[in-house]
Structure 1
Amino acid sequence: MFFICMLMPASISILIEKRIDKTNKSTSDLILKYLLYTFLITTIMNTFVYIFSSEKMFHYAEYTFSYDFCLKYMWLSLVVAIILPYILKVISTNVDIKLELKEKKDTKKDKAVKNVKKIKEVKKRKNNKSN
């Protein structure tokens, strides 16, 4: 029951996302999306269980997943699994994230290079004056 409760809702989310996007994705994309949905749904459900549970559980054990608990957990996780693809679609269409990386200049290195150039110029001047 434990594995069914943890892994099945993500497959529902994948099916809903395929209906929303209507695109064919590669197997690796589907596996990555499945893992993402499994992580998100499990995290949300762990938060619900921790907040609303009378006994604060820090980890799941076999005795925790009684039949009644599994039914409640499955219904709530299926609701989360149905809503989550729509939320992610709205976020992905309305939020654009751009990362711009700039190379940090090493001022000590730049000063050393300038000093070397100055020394070479001074040596050239001395050589020119002596000739």
Structure 2
Amino acid sequence: MRPRLLGYFAALVLMMGAFAWAINDRMPLNFDAERERTQLYQVTRDGQISNVFSLTIRNLDDQDHTYQLSVAGLPSLSLDSRSISVPAGASRLEVVTVTANPDDLQQPSHPIVFTLQAQQDADIRLERETSFLGDIRR
């Protein structure tokens, strides 16, 4: 037993422990939220401002999940879709429309946060920040 050999053994045990912790601590969900680039915003028939977002949801778990989608950041935000099912090990592209009252828009761009949470397990939860665009000159 030489000191160098003991050092190598300690480094190997430390790396194996870090690897095991990283595997055990990973979130079995990943998602991206991107605003559609083709159109900045739309004005609906009832005068609301809407933005279209593409959500790419990846279920990294070994069981199917139904996720609850919510959005926050402005008082009058509303979603057209709230529940998304993704099979185990699969990904899904979901296009959602977020609508807001133009009276709540104080600037051209507002930060908003999408929250995706598994209905079966409250520990599976992620948030993504993006921006909501609108015309304040109205």
TM-score range relative to shorter protein: under 0.3
Which of the pair is proportionally richer in strand? 2
Higher relative contact order (CA 8 A, sep 6+): 1
After TM superposition, the score normalised by the length of structure 2 is 0.22
Please tell me whether Structure 1 or Structure 2 has the larger radius of gyration of its CA atoms: 1
TM-score by length of 1: 0.23
